[in-house]
Amino acid sequence: MCTIGGGVLIFGDRLDRDRAKRIEEVLRMIIVKGEERGGRDSFGIVALDKNGELNVFKSRDRPSIAVSRMPSIINENTVAVIFNNRAEPTTEYVRAKTEDDIQPMIGEHVVVAHNGTIANDKDLETKFNLTRRSRIDTAILPPPLLERLWMDR
């Protein structure tokens, strides 16, 4: 079972440095505690700043190990953050993982962390003539499917 978490940080114009640091400390604790529930196969986190820039850290290590190596991810300009501790199902085992195999999945306009199975991912890939960067079922969502549907509106 995976662990997904995140939050929106709205504090007026910007966070002060001390508050950003305290929020990150709590977030790191939540990530490590989430490993106890499940999600020991990989870890990824994406923070969005007010200018639309992403701060990304992904690791094939257990979240507790990855977090100890993770640089500061939240700063005074952070407005939202999302993370995923992944428990990889045997049906989606990828021996040599790349960043594209680790959630959150990142598109040009969409970032997704997903807990569950998208059983029709291959059907969606065929129906909409999509190309995804990973065989992980969630990889069908951000870059190919959601952004295709968004752009076709």
Catalytic residues: 2
- DSSP one-letter string for 82-137: EEEEE---GGG--SS--GGGSSSEE-SS-EE---S--TTHHHHHHHTT---S-SSG
Which amino acid is it at 107?
G
144 and 122 in contact (C-beta within 8 Å)?
Answer: no
**Cβ count within 10 A of residue 100:** 16
Q: Is 142 left (phi over 0), alpha (psi -120 to 50) or beta?
A: alpha
User: Nearest CA to 117 among 145, 140, 96, 134?
Assistant: 140
Q: Which residues contact 19 (CB under 8 A, 6 or more apart)?
A: 11
